[in-house]
A = this chain, B = another copy of it.
C-alpha cells in the first residue's frame, strides 16, 4: 500500500479513536506506520490531510448506512439506525465532529451537503409509497433523514432517555398537522 493511502487510513483511524481535536501529526504517522514528513510531502499540511480523511470518512459512512438499509430492508428504519449506532458508535461520534469542522472547510461542507442530498433521495425511494406524488415522496425522504440524524444525536448523548423506535412511530401516528407541527 502506498504511503499516501496509508496516511489517509491512519488519519481516519485517529479521527475515530482520538477525535479531530486531539489528533496530532505524529499520531497519524504512528497509526499509519508512515513517516512524519510524508504528511507534508503528500498533502502539504496535516490539516489538508485531515480534511481529505474526513471527506473519505463521510463517504464510507454513507456507504455503510446504505448497505445496512439495502441488504436487509428493515422492519423499522429507526430501530435499524439505533442498532447501527450501537454497533459503530465511534464512527458516529467522529461524524458529529466532522459536521462541526465543516463550517470552516468549504470542501468538506460540500461533500457533506452532497451526501445529505443523496441520502434524502435514496430514503425517499426506499421508504415512500410509490403511489404518492413525486414531491411528496421527496419530502418524506427529507423527513426521514431529519429523523435519523436527530435520533442519532440523542442516542449518542443518552441512549436510555432518547426516543425509541416505538416512541417515534407512536408520535408519528398521533401527530396531526395544525398542532404546531
Measured CB to CB, the residues of A under 8 A from B are 19-21, 73-74, 76-78, 93-94, 96-97, 99-104, 109, 112-113, 116-117, 120, 126-129, 132, 135-136, 139-140, 142-151, 153-154, 156-158, 161-163, 167-177, 179-181
Most B-side CB within 10 Å, residue of A132, A161, A168, A180: A180
Q: Is the CB of B176 within 8 A of A169?
A: no
Q: Is the CB of B161 within 8 A of A103?
A: no
Q: Is the interface of A mostly helix, strand, loop or mixed?
A: helix
User: Given the complex of chains A and B, what is the CA–CA distance between A158 and B154 in angstroms?
Assistant: 21
Q: With a CB–CB cut-off of 8 A, which chain B residues contact A147?
A: 143, 146-147, 150, 181
With both chains docked as a complex, state the minimum distance between the C-beta of A25 and any C-beta of chain B, in angstroms: 14
24 A-B pairs with C-beta separation under 8 A: A19-B103, A19-B104, A78-B181, A103-B156, A109-B158, A112-B157, A117-B161, A120-B163, A128-B179, A136-B170, A142-B162, A143-B147, A143-B163, A143-B167, A143-B181, A145-B150, A146-B150, A146-B151, A146-B154, A146-B168, A149-B149, A149-B150, A149-B154, A172-B177
How often does this chain occur in the complex, in copies? 2
The 9 closest A-B pairs by CB, nearest first: A150-B150, A146-B150, A143-B171, A113-B158, A142-B163, A97-B100, A21-B21, A139-B171, A96-B100
Q: With a CB–CB cut-off of 8 A, which chain B residues contact A148?
A: 150
With both chains docked as a complex, state the minimum distance between the C-beta of A169 and any C-beta of chain B, in angstroms: 6
User: Given the complex of chains A and B, what is the CA–CA distance between A172 and B150 in angstroms?
Assistant: 15
Most B-side CB within 10 Å, residue of A77, A97, A136, A139: A139
Which of B19, B94, B139 meets A170, CB within 8 Å? B139
User: Given the complex of chains A and B, what is the CA–CA distance between A163 and B140 in angstroms?
Assistant: 10
Q: With a CB–CB cut-off of 8 A, which chain B residues contact A94?
A: 100
